[in-house]
């Protein structure tokens, strides 16, 4: 638990099972990954000083409906238990598999997952950690609502859940490869 800011569900306490992690990992295809971009869908920009690393969009049919259902359930639980009380209507049609490597210290600087255009309906972000912590150094998922960042749990299968407007980042990976998957619970726009 990370206070009202976010909550982490480790394996065995709500996080993804070993088979769910394997389902996502087996759907990732290095040949289909592309450089992560920033901004609204229509005008996404390549700004490697802000975001480096690769992404691949995966549909429920690629990883199994059960993974999407499990993640949505975690969004509902966190929304209720943290008393965010957002109106939720489901999840995005695709999850984003992410890959950050030590090649150039890949990272994603401070950002929110909510904004204009297609991201307006995002209410809650869910980040699933797919790599073993010993497989990489750096690559910390950090969240902040003030001046002191908080590290999220990074055990394989842990899912960290937070409002889409919370500032967060992935610090540069200094050794190895960090794999993750991100899905968003959606609802009526905040604005």
Look at 151 and 116; give whichever has higher pLDDT: 151
Alpha-carbon span 160 to 145, nearest angstrom: 15
Q: What is the pTM assigned to this prediction? A: 0.92
Q: What is the pLDDT of residue 147?
A: 79
Lowest-pLDDT range of 79-93, 127-141, 145-159: 145-159
Of the pLDDT bands very low, low, confident and very high (cuts 50, 70, 90), residue 119 is confident
Q: What is the pLDDT of residue 44?
A: 53
- DSSP string computed for 123-164: EEEEEEE-S-GGGEEE--EEEESSSS-EEPP-STT-EEEEET
**CA gyration radius, the chain:** 15
Domains with residue ranges and CATH for the chain: 7-29+51-186 (2.60.120.620)
Q: What is the pLDDT of residue 1?
A: 47
Burial label for 136, CB within 10 Å (0-12, 13-18, 19+), is buried
**Phi then psi dihedrals of residue 115, to 5 deg:** -175, -140
Q: What is the pLDDT of residue 54?
A: 93
> What's the rounded mean pLDDT across residues 8-37?
93
Placement of tokens 């509902």 in the chain: 76
The gap from C-alpha 121 to its chain's centroid, in whole angstroms, comes to 16
107 has pLDDT over 80: yes
The neighbouring-strand residues paired with 143 are 150, 168
Q: What is the pLDDT of residue 45?
A: 56
């Amino acid at each position: 638990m990370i206070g009202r800011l976010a909550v982490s569900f480790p394996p065995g306490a709500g996080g993804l099972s070993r088979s769910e992690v394997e389902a996502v990992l087996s759907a990732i295809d290095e040949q289909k990954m592309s450089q992560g971009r920033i901004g609204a869908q229509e005008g996404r920009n390549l700004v490697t000083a802000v975001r480096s690393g690769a992404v691949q969009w995966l549909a429920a049919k690629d990883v199994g409906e059960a993974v999407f259902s499990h993640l949505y359930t975690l969004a509902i639980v966190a929304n209720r238990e943290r008393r965010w009380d957002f109106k939720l209507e489901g999840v995005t049609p695709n999850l984003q598999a992410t890959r950050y490597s030590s090649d150039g210290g890949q990272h994603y600087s401070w950002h929110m997952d909510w904004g204009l255009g297609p991201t307006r309906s995002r209410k809650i972000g869910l980040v699933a950690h797919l790599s073993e912590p010993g497989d990489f150094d750096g690559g910390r998922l950090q969240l902040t609502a003030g001046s002191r960042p908080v590290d999220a749990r990074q055990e394989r299968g842990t899912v960290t859940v937070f409002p889409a407007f919370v500032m967060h980042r992935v610090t540069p990976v200094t050794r190895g490869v960090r794999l993750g998957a991100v899905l968003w619970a959606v609802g009526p726009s905040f604005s």
